[in-house]
Amino acid sequence: MDEKTPLEPPPSYDNASQVTPTKPAQAGSTAPPRPRPLDLPALNMIRGKRVILASASPRRRQLLAQIGLTDLEIVASTVPEDKSKSLAPFEYVLETAQQKALNVYEATIDSPKGEPALVIAADTVVSTELGQILEKPRSEKEHVAMLKMLRDEGWHKVYTAVVCMAPLESAMDPGYTMESHVEETSVKFDSNVTDELIVSYVRTREGVDKAGGYGIQGIGSILVESIKGTFDNVVGLPLRATLQLIEKVIVEPAVPDAVDDVGY
């Protein structure tokens, strides 16, 4: 990043899900001006309305800001993420993201603020080539072991499921439309990354709150040799696919019994 931000204390493993988003630039700063928002029907239709991100991830919030969704309401799901690890990775993230979206939609539909115009939920996991699901590390020891395994195995995969929900104007049950998508990106760690570098990276605590234990958009990029697929998917939200889902539920909502669109 060109913009310099003050350093903040690193998160602990116990509160990794509660990392505080980076503060916006103050007035009078030297930050470059933001580009004009995208002039698209779906985005124009929800501008100024209640748009909820069902995630506390600052990275997802920053990515959505890139397409002009800057006035987001953050409402994290309260449902435990306890899906069976026996599921295939793309099934695991899809079911978890759908669960998040439904939980937050149901919790906010009768709010005094009015029903949300759009709810966006997402879930990301890292998977080994054999399908073992890796989420956030729970200790420094586990964190080091996780990154060593990813280095030694070569390629691994990152799956992100995105779910968008919007209310329907008709009273047809269940009263909302939902669309979903699963994106897959393959990532290869540099086999020459040393144990010393891995330990040093772990102690920066950058990867504490991230699936797989590293942030490709930050210092963690020094671990990565190459990727196949979309970069922002590894960060935590495939923007192109997310925009397509928003267009589906806002501009041309499907009938309630339509089958969700799942791609990977």
Residue with the larger pLDDT of the pair 97 and 253:
97
Mean of pLDDT values over 36-63: 92
Q: Binning pLDDT at 50, 70 and 90, where does residue 112 land?
A: confident
Give the domain ranges of the chain.
38-250
Tell me: pLDDT of 214 over 60.
Answer: yes
Per-residue pLDDT, 114: 86
Q: Binning pLDDT at 50, 70 and 90, where does residue 121 land?
A: very high
Active site (annotated) includes residue 123? yes
Tell me: pLDDT of 48 over 70.
Answer: yes
- 3-state percent breakdown (helix, strand, coil) of the chain, nearest 5: 30, 20, 50
Most confident stretch, 12-16, 111-115, 173-177, 234-238: 234-238
CA distance linking residue 89 with residue 157, whole number of Å: 9
Residue with the larger pLDDT of the pair 218 and 1:
218
CATH code reported for the domain at 38-250: 3.90.950.10
Tell me: pLDDT of 257 over 90.
Answer: no
Which amino acid is it at 35?
P
Helical H segments across 128-175, by residue range: 140-153
Q: Binning pLDDT at 50, 70 and 90, where does residue 242 land?
A: very high
Per-residue pLDDT, 207: 94
The encoded tokens of residue 261 equal: 């669109």
Q: Transcribe 167-187 into DSSP letters.
A: E-SS--TT-EEEEEEEEEEEE
CA distance linking residue 201 with residue 214, whole number of Å: 9
Tell me: pLDDT of 247 over 90.
Answer: yes
Per-residue pLDDT, 1: 43
Tell me: pLDDT of 157 over 60.
Answer: yes
Per-residue pLDDT, 20: 47
Q: Binning pLDDT at 50, 70 and 90, where does residue 262 land?
A: very low
Tell me: pLDDT of 86 over 50.
Answer: yes
For 258, which DSSP code? Answer: S
The encoded tokens of residue 188 equal: 């290869």
CA distance linking residue 257 with residue 207, whole number of Å: 40
Mean of pLDDT values over 232-257: 89
Q: Transcribe 45-81 into DSSP letters.
A: HHTTS-EEE----HHHHHHHHTTT--SPEE----S--
CA distance linking residue 222 with residue 147, whole number of Å: 12
Pick the catalytic residue: 82, 123, 190, 209?
A: 123
